[in-house]
Structure 1
């Protein structure tokens, strides 16, 4: 099985956020958007994220599904990636099952209470 070379989501430039401007990384006018310090803090704060995981915790909630669906769309048959999240991504699973029935396998690797890790694998024989 091929593991996708995904980058930690915390290293990507961010936009949006709460807009409060009082803390770094939230995307507010006074915040530090996508700074290395914020990304490093997010990736080292919880050791349950592994190199290569798609860790969406540092992203604003509105950006998470877009990033995850892009990663799923990039999967070739038999390829997978591990999603790291701060809550059970069960609603995402329902959405994937509705849009691509039987095309993405879902395997929990860690189930909270603070960190969830899920391996998503594209089914063999998926044509496009």
Structure 2
């Protein structure tokens, strides 16, 4: 019985993500911004509406809001901001940490963002 309980706990901790090209592109933009806030200058024309997933749009909105206030936008400040401003909206801190540690080159943020802006193009 203990082994079964351990298996259930393990499945709850694992985080599954969609793996389509649009989702991966959105994740790359967010990962770049969480890793290097200055990368926002490469995607100034991007809006939360460009994200197909509401969660990604909310994370992007939080990053922009934090930076406009002169604050650092990392996984913890974004999580706290979302909990404070949108208490009913749930974003997992595990997901934000996974985005922060995603292997991306922050210099490509503008490329990823441009692909989200143009309909039909996929990063």
TM-score under structure 1 normalisation? 0.26
Greater share of residues in helix: 2
* Structure with bigger RCO (C-alpha 8 Å, 6+ apart): 2
Greater share of residues in strand: 1
TM-score under structure 2 normalisation? 0.27
